[in-house]
Structure 1
């Protein structure tokens, strides 16, 4: 229910309304709390995949801090593009931007075990993909027909399935610990389980700020638990704090620039999915906050901001940005549509991004504790995909499209050696799993005739398909 002490009902539905500052700032920070963990997690995952050392004395420690720092800084800058707008760039709506999980299945194979040297090609792909993403704003409405819930739901589900392994590995002790006696120990799992239990408890048995920031608070409790059982020491915390600078500006092309065909193709293809996700978020904001449909200008402006924010982030060592769906729900819950509230949150993110000591503290979170939060977050990604698939009419045609796309995409992801003789570019794209699944789903959806939907499918589905949702075949 909306808080009418902030403004009249008409004001609360107006994105241009500015609430009193003493109310706008806490509401803005509330938006940051809802997305903070999700925003910095991709940077930590990419660092781990590349083989960065996580200890405060590791030579890679400054690079890890920098990636975390850029995640916060450019999430804030991209959010400002949405709320303030620059020409056609931005929707002038309370859209919160953050680092996208969707690109992780593409980024992880690009950097796997290659260290800092892999980042030049990664950020080259981010820049080109961001420019391509921005160009989609010119005709985003015209390509929506190619991405129905069957396709988008499959892709979102595949994103989650591609990442759940990472959550389990983190909870068990992290990739470097695989094969050691400590990997999968009860101590490691206890830290992850504390985070999961606290997160679920807060999410379902509390309201307001406690429920909204459940994952963040779960990680804090897990952090304290790790201190109590000796998984983390005060010396490591103070070491990380002292080794991180108090203030630092972003550096353009810090890791150089390299244009890899695999990276460019991967990022450009994923831009389609990210753009459609943003369209859904913009529609959700205008419906939930203002009770109306989004305009074409708002949808195009949001897509432009997605792409421009990603391209600029790539120049300085930031990962791809997208609109954050959890904040859409927050707007519907609070009833406050003001874009200036989100601007306050963006400024807070920018300040955090300019202070590496914040990243230094984040990095002291034990990998097992982070694993508990990641399991929840990636599981929610899978659940979101399944929720989207619930809108699909499961006839023969759609079942075949889903079955083939999922089987090939997930199969290649689980057994990457099956395409070991492909050229490097094709192998990286195929073993992501996500891209072949998305490609097959889009192509099959466009070329398979609709009249297949009317045919019976007992041989595939036990006689259950061809019926509407919630219905059963008649007995004969």
Structure 2
């Protein structure tokens, strides 16, 4: 229920209304807490997949690189959010939309960087930039492609994203990929740290209210962090070393890792841009319905998609990852009843400040991988649940079951056994082993070409658009 002490009901529904600063600042920081862990997690996962070091050892390989990637995740989440809330020209919805690093692209990025270190980053960020520009181009015809992405397709894709990521959560909770062959991998100590995070997060989500419930994941990780310190998994000396080694201020560096045109990266990011764009349409609709009790306008939807694309392209130029609207913040607006875009602007400025101070990223990097694993299990499990929620709006006739069965079987099968396509050219192999892209292409194609009435069975048309988006989403 909306807090009328912040303003009148009419003011609370107005995106241009600015509450008093003593109210607006806590509300803005609340938005940051709701998305903070989800926003920096993709950078940590990609750095880990590429082979950068984890933990509080500031001398570990990759310390400056992982810290920089975390820094750029915060900085460009803030900048892309300003694209949405303030806008320029046709860019931006001028709505309280919080941008953050997208989970959706992680299954595409991991095969591109796996075990290759910083040498893989030029091609990765080349794909981010080109994919972002293509995402912005989608804004010119976003309203015309929604028919091709009904809940059958989007629900399958979101479910596949979650299924591709849950393995990462389990590996982190057990001790991390580099430690798979070590005796301590899967030890009770490692799992205990992850379980502390999970139980604290669940307890706050279900039994707390207000700020505590909204910040459940970040508080769970903080509690897990202190538990890890008590158990000797992280030391104050290690944290102090990381803190002292990191600079007080660092501006983003254009093309820090270079720029390379990789067909696999470009195709992967461009194809995923379609799904991300339609998800953003759902988020914009959720914000206007939940906060203002109205439908989103075409101009708002187009502006939000432009901001997604240009925010992603700008991030890629400086070493940031794809940005998209964050759905947990959509729910936060519905919960608080405050529609002010200027509140979210305050949160964006807070993110930008954090992104310009490497010490923040350095401290985040000292979180033990087992602690992060507990948070990741919760987050990525929710991605799977969100996809299943979307699929609940599908009419499960024979046609749709066939589409779902084939797409899921091929996509999940290639994830589980990448060697099945080991003789394909490198570009095709990377795209196929993600599992996500073949599943999406199969589902979209079959949904467009198969007749609605399959094998003489009377069917109802699958609901179009993003019906059901309010029930589930892949954003964090």
Distance (whole Å) between structure 1 residues aligned to residue 348 and residue 87 of structure 2: 13
1:454 Cα deviation (Å)?
A: 5.6
* Cross-structure match for 1:103: 105
Q: Is the 8 A contact 1:13 1:289 kept in 2?
A: yes
Residue matched to 1:461: none
Tell me if the contact between 1:34 and 1:212 (Cα under 8 Å) persists in the aligned partners.
yes
Which of 84, 87, 90 does residue 89 from structure 2 map onto?
87
- CA-atom RMSD, angstroms? 1.4
- Out of 146, 149, 159, the position equivalent to 2:148 is 146
How many Å separate the matches in 2 of 1:138 and 1:467?
A: 26
Distance in 2 (alpha carbons) for counterparts of 1:439 and 1:243: 46
Pair 1:13 & 2:13 matched: yes
1:2 is matched with which residue? 2
Measure, in 1, the Cα distance between the counterparts of 2:24 and 2:454: 54
Matching residue of 1:412? 414
Alpha-carbon deviations, 1:165-205, whole Å to 9, x = none? 00000000000000111000000000000000000000000
1:434-473 equivalences in 2 (<5 Å): 434-452=436-454, 455=457
For 1:442 and 1:190, locate their aligned partners in 2 and report how far apart those are by CA, in whole Å: 42
Instruction: Name the TM-score, length of structure 2 as normaliser.
Output: 0.96
252 and 453 in structure 1: CA distance in 2 versus 1, 3 angstrom threshold? farther
Match for residue 370 of structure 1?
372
Aligned equivalent of 1:383: 385
Structure 2 contact 91–304 (Cα < 8 Å) conserved: yes
TM-superposition CA deviations, 1:235-286 (whole Å, max 9, x none): 1110110111000000000000000000000000000000001000000000
Matches within 5 A, 1:73-84: 73-84=75-86
Could you list the per-position Cα deviations for residues 393-440 of structure 1 after superposition, in whole angstroms to 9, with x for gaps in the alignment? 000000000000000000001000000000000000000000000000
Q: Partner residue of 1:158? A: 160
Q: d(CA) in 1 for partners of 2:172 and 2:462?
A: 42
Displacement of 1:385 in angstroms is 0.3
Extract unaligned runs of 5+ from structure 2. Answer: 464-476
Per the alignment, residue 336 of structure 1 pairs with 338
**Alignment deviations for residues 362-386 of structure 1 (CA, whole Å, 9 cap, x no partner):** 0110000000000000000000000
TM-score, normalization: structure 1?
A: 0.96
Which residue matches 2:22? 22
Instruction: List, as ranges, runs of 4+ consecutive aligned residues in structure 1 with deviation greater than 2 Å.
Output: 465-468
Find the counterpart in structure 2 of residue 52 from structure 1.
Answer: 52
Q: Work out the CA distance in 2 between the residues paired with 1:59 and 1:466.
A: 54
In structure 2, do the counterparts of structure 1 residues 466 and 455 end up closer, same or farther at CA, with 3 Å as the change threshold?
farther
Q: Is the 8 A contact 2:152 2:462 kept in 1?
A: no
Which ranges in structure 1 are unaligned for 5 or more consecutive residues?
458-464, 469-476
Quote how far apart the aligned CAs of 1:59 are: 3.7
* 3-state SS, counterpart of residue 396 of structure 2: coil
Cα distance change on mapping 1:413 and 1:77 into 2, 3 Å = same
Measured in 1, the distance between the counterparts of 2:440 and 2:30 equals 34
1:430 to 2:415 alignment: no
Distance of aligned partners of 1:456 and 1:184 in 2 relative to their CA distance in 1, 3 Å threshold: farther
Listed one character per residue, the Cα deviations across residues 290-341 of structure 1 (whole Å, up to 9, x for unaligned) are 0000000000000000000000000000000000000000000000000000
3-state DSSP class of the match of 1:450?
A: coil
Deviations 1:60-91 (A, max 9, x none): 10011000000000000000000001100000
CA 1:223–1:8: 2 relative to 1, 3 Å: same
Q: Alignment partner for residue 186 of structure 1, among 185, 188, 206?
A: 188
CA–CA distance in 1 between the matches of 2:298 and 2:128? 26
Query: 1:208-247 counterparts in 2 under 5 A?
Result: 208-247=210-249
SS at match of 2:257: coil
Maintained 8 Å contact 1:454/1:466:
no
Contact 1:455 1:466 in 2 (8 A): no
Alpha-carbon shift at residue 53 of structure 1 (Å)? 1.9
Aligned to 1:460: none
1:34 is aligned to 2:23? no
CA contact (8 A) 2:394 2:462 kept: no
In 2, the alpha carbon distance for the partners of 1:59 and 1:189 equals 25
> Separation in 2 of the partners of 1:37 and 1:26?
18
3-state SS of the aligned residue for 1:183?
coil
